[in-house]
Amino acid sequence: MLKEMNLKVSEELSVNVLPNSDFEFLMTSKEVAHGYGVTDYNIRQHKLQHSDEFIEGKHYVIAVSITNGKSKIPHNAVLWTKRGIVRLGFFIKSERAKLFRDWAEDVIINVLENGDNFLQPVPVLPAPKKRNHNRLTQERMIGILADVAKIEDSALRLSLISKLGL
């Protein structure tokens, strides 16, 4: 039976890996998506859209080929190898993806340097910076209020202003 192990990526992020004698470790699409900060649908789409880049048995395996029916993992689940995790990182662009790629790179280097003992401590990465490009700045608020003032329906105007928290 596959036994999951929890690894810390950063202070706020940890992922589950499945130790495997053939690939050192495997990760479910859900865990890879969690690491990269995307949905597992996004991971499946990348696998489909870049099918010429992903090779079964090298970048991923299907769970039935390794679990022998003794696992909670569905038999048709895609399990990503370390090579597949890195290859996925070429296509996923986000701040968290950058952190996860750094972590994956460190894990792979540890595997290469330490052999079977890939669970050596990896330096903890800093938490991703909060995005603030969608924040409601004073300038944006003034612009919105100027547009709201142009609305002739007073009930709608008051409703919008109350939703802005004013």
- Write out pLDDT tens, residues 71-91: 677 888 999 998 899 889 889
Work out the average pLDDT over 8-12.
Answer: 77
Query: What pLDDT shows up at residue 66?
Result: 72
Return the structure tokens found at 106.
Answer: 């460190």
Query: What pLDDT shows up at residue 30?
Result: 93
Residue 1: pLDDT over 80? no
Q: Cα 149 to chain center, whole Å? A: 42
Band of the pLDDT at 121, cuts 50, 70, 90?
low
Query: What pLDDT shows up at residue 32?
Result: 92
Query: What pLDDT shows up at residue 84?
Result: 93
Q: How far apart are CA 59 and CA 3, in angstroms?
A: 20
Band of the pLDDT at 22, cuts 50, 70, 90?
confident
Nearest Cα to Cα of residue 54 among 45, 67, 41: 45
Total length of the chain: 166
Tell me how far CA of residue 118 lies from CA of 20, 80, 107, 113, in angstroms. 11, 16, 7, 9
CB 20 within 8 A of CB 26: yes
Q: Write down the pTM of the prediction.
A: 0.59
Residue 126: pLDDT over 80? no
Q: pLDDT tens, 26-69?
A: 999 999 999 888 899 999 999 999 999 999 999 999 988 775 54
Burial of 116 (0-12, 13-18, 19+ CB in 10 A): exposed
- Average pLDDT score over the chain: 79
- State what percent of residues in the chain have pLDDT above 70: 77
